[in-house]
Chains A and B, each alone.
Chain A
Amino acid sequence: MAAKTKKKKWTASRILLSASPLFLVVLWMVTPNDSAFKQSATWQQMTEPGKLSAAHASLEDDCAACHTSVKGIETSSCIACHANNQSLLQRQPTSFHAGISSCIECHREHRGFDQRPTNMDHEALAKIGLRQLKSDALDSENNALREEIIARTRGYAPPHSRITTAETTLKCATCHANDDRHFKLFGQDCAQCHATDRWTIPEYRHPSATSMDCAQCHQAPPSHYMMHFKMISARVAGKPHARVDQCFQCHQTTSWNDILGAGWYKHH
């Protein structure tokens, strides 16, 4: 057999294939400079894991506003815009922001345009605090404090299943002191009963509806200590001789306004 001459056939696909770089160059040249095709943002957005929230939507085209190459989100990038928020820093429940060193744990982005980038995460807060105590500790005092906290929580079972060990290291009163409905009678260790996702306690059961020790926890409103009590309240309930500390004489456990014998009654 004669040696085959290696002559490639110019099939349509081969022509197309060899012309493709030229095609790309031409395509690049004919597109205007300001077209989306030529913006690095367009290409970077291919990797975007979800839309930014409405508040940050203006940064959609500027990944570098928040992302430092390799290092990712640096707290300083956030602070650049969010420093000096006086009202936030001076309000007791939110003043902890002044000393916090990390934002992304609670302020997650790329979750969609209509998602506010805020999720209070007490666990994250506790961890940031412990981390901070460690990295800030040029003086031994911080380190000792951290060691003590860690030692105290090591092998420490949380008081109930709705709170984590890390969360119990937080001092609730730093942020929540203004709102103690127990008038400090139960102390300041809220975590003994409360969880961090809500104040109500699902396990709580009110004492028996026939219990007569209401005053152990409840206190009558100011009007009950005035003439109003004898003239209106006691009379409406049909209990003219009831004493102020005998709540059970008139009130029922469904609601304070559910008056025995009178039904739902709201005077004011």
Chain B
Amino acid sequence: MKEKERLIVTGLVALMLILWLGFPLHRSPRFAGSLWGGVFGVVGSLLMIVPLLYLFIKRIKRLKKKVLKWVSMRTLLSWHIYAGVLGPILVVIHSGHKYESTLGVVLTAMTLLVVVSGFVGRYLMNRFSQEIREKKKILSKLEAAYEQTATVLASEPERAQMLQPFSGFFGRILAGLFVHESNVEPIGTQSSQAVDPSTVLHLSESIADIEYAIKTHTTFKAWFGKWLKFHIWISFVLYGLMALHVWGAIHFGIRWFDPWKTSTSYYAHSTVQGVEAAAPLAAPPNEEQSAAAVDSFSRHFGQLFRKYWHEPIAIHGIRTTAFDYKGIANEVGQPGSDFFKARLALEQVAPDRLGGGNAEKTFWINAYNFGAMKLAAENYPVASITDSKISDGNPWGIRGVRVGTEQYALHQIENEILLKKFDDPRIVFAVSCAAVSCPDRTGDIFSADQLDRQLDDIVRGLLANTTKGLAIDRQLKTVTLSWIIKTDRRLFGDGGDNDLLNFVLRYAPSDVRDWIDANRSDIKIKYFEHDWGLNDTALADEKN
């Protein structure tokens, strides 16, 4: 039975070693990642886990007790052996058509090493022990024969005398050449018991040989004595590498397992106008997909915003929060960046399925701000979005930001969508042209559930900024207001100074409010010059 097992396993190990050498004969870089390659790999790896059972059952006493009721240790060991050889064979078939990645090469080498170490331990080690046992048996027989001969020889001193000259080191080596059986005639009556001195020599030589052989084998045995530890250690390294490999395969995407493979031609098609696509158009995203895209846009734009936002600095003498546009510009061409992902997400939104209310309002305000930032970042370095590099004076008219399948202009988002759908003057403060004179921002983009508070804060923040929002001169009795309020005055009640002041009073700091209230009748309203300079940290005034 055992002989048979050894024969089969030896054959299998040899097969595995040969399979590995198949690489020069058949190369297929894509086999390992194909469906069949995957089947070999997965089944092989699962089989390679089976040997662990034996390891644990053997070492955990309670488990061993339970398991032994059902299966014998011997059966478990043979499972260990067969699974431990068949698994690697499948795995080598999986990997053996290409050796390119470091992990792959190391993993295959470790697999072979673990199997070979197991094989050596199980079968060759066994051989050594057996050999030693047999040799020892022969040795004891020889020693008995020697004892007997020596006793006989001791009673015949003349014969013993013949060995005298060969007691030295070199003499002993040469003794076999000079002491011959026929040298001395048997003497006396005890001839029947007579012993030839050369027999003693032969015996002692044989003993020496065998002792030497046993010693060598014992050394080998001791040397291999650590094989089990070695086998276990390297197999754990192997399992570690295997885990990494499985992680890598799943993380980077398994080619044959792709339930996400859906058509994206909808986007590809609509990037170019005037080209008739061969294939029919895909349906536009449904409500759910669109909502997911809005979420994704908010997440990535939010991260982008926070990453490059900078607390208030002075640019052209105006205090303003700023952004690191250089950083944003770096993300423009970088797949996988937040800018990129935000841009892509926007293209997957269905503009007619935003659901109205604060959710839609928030989305369009954020989309506007992203669009403005995009104009600056894509053309960076620019001093302003009114830069001639971007447009000949009207950056709001450029259809620069794509939502769903359509390109939108900033003007269009602000006037045709936001202000038309939502009666809220605070919108004009929230949509920012990336300019120094625009309202200051916190590090967060707008979110639907906090929109009202955020909009109030942004107006309040602007009117608290005396360099661009609201400044009063108590002597001259003038109130200097943001240019934004002047431009969009039609939004504040009937657009007269009175309604305008009413709006300002709602958000102005309390001391200013009190003063305006007290002097309302003879106040003169002036406006700040609007500074279109980019609110870029790189443009900060020199610090003194």
Task: Please list the residues of chain A having a beta carbon within 8 angstroms of any beta carbon in chain B.
Answer: 44-50, 59, 62-77, 79-81, 83-84, 86, 89-90, 95-102, 108, 110-111, 129, 131-133, 135-136, 138-139, 141-142, 174
Are B268 and A49 interface neighbours, CB within 8 A?
no
Which of A50, A67, A71 has the largest number of chain B CB atoms within 10 A? A71
Question: Known: A67-B253, A90-B275. Is A100-B101 also a contact (CB below 8 A)?
Answer: no
Among A48, A50, A72, A142, contact of B253 (Cβ-Cβ < 8 Å) = A72
- A selection of 26 A-B contacts at a CB cut-off of 8 Å is A46-B103, A47-B103, A47-B244, A48-B102, A50-B101, A62-B335, A67-B252, A68-B253, A72-B252, A75-B264, A75-B268, A79-B268, A86-B272, A98-B268, A99-B269, A99-B279, A100-B265, A100-B279, A101-B279, A102-B261, A110-B29, A131-B263, A133-B279, A136-B283, A142-B280, A174-B278
Complex CA distance for A166 and B478, rounded to whole angstroms: 80
Are A46 and B101 interface neighbours, CB within 8 A?
yes
User: Does any Cβ of A come within 8 Å of B169's Cβ?
Assistant: no
Extra A-B contacts (5), CB below 8 Å, given A73-B253, A76-B267: A76-B344, A77-B335, A84-B271, A110-B29, A135-B262
Question: Known: A65-B336, A80-B340, A89-B272. Is A132-B279 also a contact (CB below 8 A)?
Answer: yes
Closest to A83 in B: B271
Are A80 and B344 interface neighbours, CB within 8 A?
yes
Q: How far is the CB of B517 from chain A (nearest CB, A)?
A: 55
Which of B244, B248, B333 has the largest number of chain A CB atoms within 10 A? B248
Chain B positions within 8 Å of A49 at CB level: 29, 33, 98, 100-101, 104
Q: How far is the CB of A189 from chain B (nearest CB, A)?
A: 17
Closest to B271 in A: A83
Among A50, A64, A136, A142, contact of B29 (Cβ-Cβ < 8 Å) = A50
Chain B positions within 8 Å of A72 at CB level: 252-255, 258
Chain A positions within 8 Å of B258 at CB level: 71-72
Q: Mark interface residues in B269-289 (1 if CB within 8 Å of A CB, else 0).
A: 101101111111111000000
Complex CA distance for A72 and B250, rounded to whole angstroms: 8
Chain A positions within 8 Å of B269 at CB level: 98-99
Complex CA distance for A11 and B350, rounded to whole angstroms: 70
Complex CA distance for A13 and B411, rounded to whole angstroms: 74
Are A98 and B253 interface neighbours, CB within 8 A?
no
Chain B positions within 8 Å of A67 at CB level: 251-253
Q: How far is the CB of A214 from chain B (nearest CB, A)?
A: 38
User: Does any Cβ of A come within 8 Å of B10's Cβ?
Assistant: no
Complex CA distance for A70 and B334, rounded to whole angstroms: 21
User: Does any Cβ of A come within 8 Å of B245's Cβ?
Assistant: yes
Are B268 and A99 interface neighbours, CB within 8 A?
yes
Question: Known: A46-B102, A98-B268, A100-B268. Is A136-B282 also a contact (CB below 8 A)?
Answer: yes
Scan residues 79-120 of chain B and give those whose CB is less than 8 A from a CB of chain A: 98, 100-104
- Grouping DSSP codes into helix (H, G, I), strand (E, B) and loop, the A interface class, with mixed when no group exceeds half, is helix
Are A132 and B263 interface neighbours, CB within 8 A?
yes
Complex CA distance for A135 and B261, rounded to whole angstroms: 9
Q: How far is the CB of A8 from chain B (nearest CB, A)?
A: 16
Which of B30, B102, B272, B276 has the largest number of chain A CB atoms within 10 A? B272
Complex CA distance for A97 and B268, rounded to whole angstroms: 8
User: Does any Cβ of A come within 8 Å of B260's Cβ?
Assistant: yes
Complex CA distance for A111 and B98, rounded to whole angstroms: 11
Are A99 and B277 interface neighbours, CB within 8 A?
yes
Closest to B333 in A: A81
Chain B positions within 8 Å of A47 at CB level: 101-104, 244-245, 248, 252
Complex CA distance for A129 and B279, rounded to whole angstroms: 7
Q: How far is the CB of A219 from chain B (nearest CB, A)?
A: 32
Complex CA distance for A138 and B98, rounded to whole angstroms: 42
Complex CA distance for A94 and B104, rounded to whole angstroms: 37
Task: Please list the residues of chain B having a beta carbon within 8 angstroms of any beta carbon in chain A.
Answer: 29-30, 33, 98, 100-104, 244-245, 248, 250-255, 258, 260-265, 267-269, 271-272, 274-283, 333-336, 340, 344
Closest to A73 in B: B253
Complex CA distance for A71 and B260, rounded to whole angstroms: 7
Complex CA distance for A84 and B274, rounded to whole angstroms: 12
Are B263 and A136 interface neighbours, CB within 8 A?
yes
Which of B101, B333, B336 has the largest number of chain A CB atoms within 10 A? B336
Closest to A135 in B: B263
Complex CA distance for A70 and B276, rounded to whole angstroms: 34
Complex CA distance for A91 and B259, rounded to whole angstroms: 33
Complex CA distance for A228 and B475, rounded to whole angstroms: 102
Please list the 8 inter-chain residue pairs (A to B) with the smallest Cβ-Cβ separation, ordered nearest first: A72-B253, A99-B277, A99-B279, A47-B248, A101-B263, A138-B283, A101-B265, A65-B335
Are B265 and A99 interface neighbours, CB within 8 A?
yes
Are A71 and B253 interface neighbours, CB within 8 A?
yes
Q: How far is the CB of A130 from chain B (nearest CB, A)?
A: 10
Among B253, B264, B283, B340, contact of A70 (Cβ-Cβ < 8 Å) = B253
Complex CA distance for A102 and B248, rounded to whole angstroms: 23
Chain A positions within 8 Å of B280 at CB level: 99, 133, 136, 141-142
Complex CA distance for A10 and B281, rounded to whole angstroms: 74
Q: How far is the CB of B130 from chain A (nearest CB, A)?
A: 30
Q: How far is the CB of A21 from chain B (nearest CB, A)?
A: 16
Complex CA distance for A155 and B30, rounded to whole angstroms: 29
Chain A positions within 8 Å of B260 at CB level: 71, 74
Complex CA distance for A129 and B265, rounded to whole angstroms: 11
Complex CA distance for A75 and B262, rounded to whole angstroms: 9
Which of A44, A90, A96, A102 has the largest number of chain B CB atoms within 10 A? A102
Complex CA distance for A110 and B101, rounded to whole angstroms: 10
Which of A63, A98, A133 has the largest number of chain B CB atoms within 10 A? A98
Chain A positions within 8 Å of B101 at CB level: 46-50
Chain B positions within 8 Å of A69 at CB level: 251
Complex CA distance for A65 and B244, rounded to whole angstroms: 21
Chain A positions within 8 Å of B334 at CB level: 65
Q: How far is the CB of A262 from chain B (nearest CB, A)?
A: 49
Chain A positions within 8 Å of B29 at CB level: 49-50, 110-111
Which of A63, A89, A139, A174 has the largest number of chain B CB atoms within 10 A? A89
Closest to B341 in A: A80
Closest to A104 in B: B255
Complex CA distance for A83 and B102, rounded to whole angstroms: 34
Closest to A66 in B: B335
Complex CA distance for A74 and B250, rounded to whole angstroms: 14
Chain B positions within 8 Å of A142 at CB level: 280
Closest to A48 in B: B101
Q: How far is the CB of A266 from chain B (nearest CB, A)?
A: 42
Complex CA distance for A142 and B255, rounded to whole angstroms: 27
Complex CA distance for A262 and B434, rounded to whole angstroms: 80
Closest to B286 in A: A138
Complex CA distance for A66 and B29, rounded to whole angstroms: 19
Complex CA distance for A102 and B267, rounded to whole angstroms: 12
Q: How far is the CB of B401 from chain A (nearest CB, A)?
A: 14
